[in-house]
Amino acid sequence: VPVHGAELPSRKSCCVCSRWNLMEHSQRLAVEELITTEASYVHNLQLCVSDVRAHLQEKQLPDLDLEGLFSNTDDILQVSRRFLEGLEATANQESEQLLCISALFQEFKEEMETVYKIYCASYEHALLLVESYRKDPRLQEEILETLKTIVPHTGASDLSFFLVIPVQRITRYPLLLQKILENTPASASAYLALRSALSAMAEVNTNINEYKRRKEVATKYNKTEHLTLRDRFARLNTHSIAKKTTRLSRLFMHETGIASKTEDKEYDDLEEKFQCVASSVTALKENVVSYLKHLEVFLLSTPHKHELQIDEGTAQQYRRFAECLHRSVLPEFRRRLDRLVCQPLCSLSDMLVGPQQLVKKRLDKLLDYEEIQERKSEMGSVTYDEEAAMNTYLAINALLMAELPRFNQVALQLLGQILCSLTVLQQDLATQVLQEAEKELEQMPHSHMPLPSFWKMMEDTLQQSGAQLRTFCQKFETVMPSPVSQPLNPAEERKVLSLVSRHGPDKLYQVTSNISGNKDLDLTLQRGQIVALLQSADTKGNTSRWLVDAGGTVRASGRLCLPQHEALECETERRRHSYALPEAPKPQVSTFTPVVAGFSFAARSPQEVSIQAGQPVLLLEPHDKKGSKEWSLVDVNGQKGYVPSSYLVTVPVQEPLGWSLPV
């Protein structure tokens, strides 16, 4: 028995040592697996980024969305390379290797979460792109040719072979750490550190999944739908109407103070800042659009294209200056404005649409959330759909709380850069215009004159020009021919004499445009007809219609209401200007001969003009172009043409007896 009892401790110690050796061996293999698989992962990621993507980029395929396919693989590759260098460096630590590995995972935790959550959130979109490219034979052929040429050893038959690698790697870190931890004694110094690293990587994966879920919710509510009124009515059903009614009721209770509103000061501040940025972008966009319209209107004016028939001088200098502005300075400014201001501003405006829809949807979901919370406090439980609605609100709220600060910061930076670009463009435009103007100003005779002397010279020049203009007006009045009057026919003369006897000469007016009566008691009057003004209003006091006597007919005329008596002209005033005073001698000036048509004539060609018997015409030339006096060139109501000379009757110019109608 003593001998047997002496051998028992030796066997137990051997079993313990064997178990320790087995755990140590498995632990070493698990560490080696972590390092070797990380090296293989980085190598494959390098192939994906530097070889496959670069080769596809060289092909310049217009329908291939490389950014949508590979997302932020560059950032993942950069982080993974540094992480691999750290893992390989732990091989020299021996007994401290596990502690170093644990510390390394803790060090890279935030960086890994940042880069991998972006990639994983866009992974589904990348797979949809791959699926769409499979349906395009040309694109699929180009992709397969790239894979066979660049990475034939991988046996990859599709881009999804490389795209899934980062997703698989980040989910494998907890498994590798778990394997190392299982082969590490609880009494070991690195045990707690490994368990902390495992918890950290599990938390990273949880956060990535939560971020992906939030992005999916955001994508769902960010979709801009252009629905017609019929489509909107088609979507209405009992459930949607009840939900909208509940929300409206809840909102009304908030506004009236019946129900308390959920307060979130931090979110309210973020939303207020976001709305301020959005309104600023909208206002700037409207102003830039208005500015561009004014610029286009300014460019429509092209004074340099008009031939001035002036050899040299300030007019030609201005012509050259305007030509330079319209051909080079302003078009270049327009192109730079579009590239540096308009396009970035439109892109920023488009970026606001998604967050605006999320902010609006958050309010809707908040109203649902409050309603469900009340029901839950009363009933003690909620349905599965109600629980999902509450989670949707929490997801949207968490996403906005995480993303709005960064979005506001980036939007403000972009808005500031756009405003700086606009300011610099305005400064450049002013500088270029000033430089071009100075080139022309240097050639002017008074360019080096002191400013006070220049203003004195300008004042004297303006006074001299004003005096010349007044002299010209006076001379023009003396040389302008007086209107030629024609005698009235006996019937018209009797009518005028009757109007004078009844109303006096000061009440007589002459109609200067045809008037057509379109109401009861309205008169139809012809241009040149003489009427007597009874009162400057109709019988109802309406000043837009005058009461006149047309020689036997007293009615209101609705079209004698033109301001400053545009339709009627005082006959006595016309007569006063129709005759020259004997004391004022007038220079002899050539005038057209007044004639009337003795017979009616119908034009038979474009060179001829039609006339009516008794119609006044202006005789321009008493012969045609060949000198034949059988045809005469006349002007009939502004229309020029030839009529037979024998059809015309010359009206003798004489002092008219009594009242006459000026032509």
pLDDT band at 173 (very low <50, low <70, confident <90, very high): very high
Total-model pTM: 0.50
d(CA 167, CA 493): 108
Residues 6+ apart with CB under 8 A from 289: none
* SS3 letters across 247-300: HHHHHHHHHHCCCCCCCCHHHHHHHHHHHHHHHHHHHHHHHHHHHHHHHHHHHH
Which residues make beta-bridge pairs with 619? 593, 634
**Do 551 and 526 meet the contact criterion of CB atoms below 8 Å apart?**
no
What is the model's pLDDT at position 484?
Answer: 47
- How many Cα atoms occupy the beta-carbon half-sphere of 553 within 13 Å? 10
pLDDT band at 233 (very low <50, low <70, confident <90, very high): low
- From the CB of residue 404, how many other CB atoms can be counted at a distance below 10 Å? 20
d(CA 433, CA 456): 27
Which residues make beta-bridge pairs with 621? 633
* Out of 108-112, 182-186, 310-314, 654-658, least confident range: 654-658
pLDDT in tens, 96-155: 889 999 999 999 999 999 999 999 988 988 998 889 888 888 888 888 888 888 888 877
Evaluate if residue 498 carries a pLDDT over 60: yes
Give, in order, the Cα–Cα distances in Å from 251 to each of 221, 531, 645.
21, 73, 91
What's the sign of the alpha-carbon dihedral 372, 373, 379, 383?
positive
Bridging pattern class, strands 568-570 and 530-535:
unpaired
Give, in order, the Cα–Cα distances in Å from 277 to each of 4, 285, 307, 509, 635.
88, 12, 51, 67, 68
Give mean pLDDT, residues 429-450.
80
pLDDT band at 572 (very low <50, low <70, confident <90, very high): very low
Give φ, ψ of 543 to 5 degrees. Answer: -75, -10
What is the model's pLDDT at position 658?
Answer: 37
pLDDT band at 487 (very low <50, low <70, confident <90, very high): low
Question: By percentage, how much of the chain surpasses pLDDT 70?
Answer: 81
d(CA 356, CA 276): 12
Evaluate if residue 617 carries a pLDDT over 70: yes
Pick 372 or 562 by higher pLDDT.
372
What is the model's pLDDT at position 370?
Answer: 83
Residues 6+ apart with CB under 8 A from 373: 390
Written as six digits, the tokens of 410 are 């980036």
Give, in order, the Cα–Cα distances in Å from 172 to each of 176, 204, 330.
6, 12, 60
Give mean pLDDT, residues 82-92.
90
Evaluate if residue 371 carries a pLDDT over 80: yes
Written as six digits, the tokens of 79 are 């982080």
Supply the mean pLDDT for the chain.
79
Written as six digits, the tokens of 605 are 């060609």
What is the model's pLDDT at position 569?
Answer: 44
Identity of the highest mean pLDDT range in 65-69, 489-493, 591-595? 65-69
**Do 502 and 534 meet the contact criterion of CB atoms below 8 Å apart?**
no
Give mean pLDDT, residues 21-29.
83
Question: By percentage, how much of the chain surpasses pLDDT 90?
Answer: 23
d(CA 104, CA 84): 10
Q: Which residue has the tokens 């002092």?
A: 655
Nearest alpha carbon to residue 597 among 625, 637, 627, 624: 637
Element of type H or E holding 662: strand 661-662
Evaluate if residue 535 carries a pLDDT over 60: yes
pLDDT band at 24 (very low <50, low <70, confident <90, very high): confident
> Using alpha carbons only, what angle is made at residue 297 by residues 294 and 299, rounded to the nearest 5 degrees?
110
Evaluate if residue 555 carries a pLDDT over 50: no
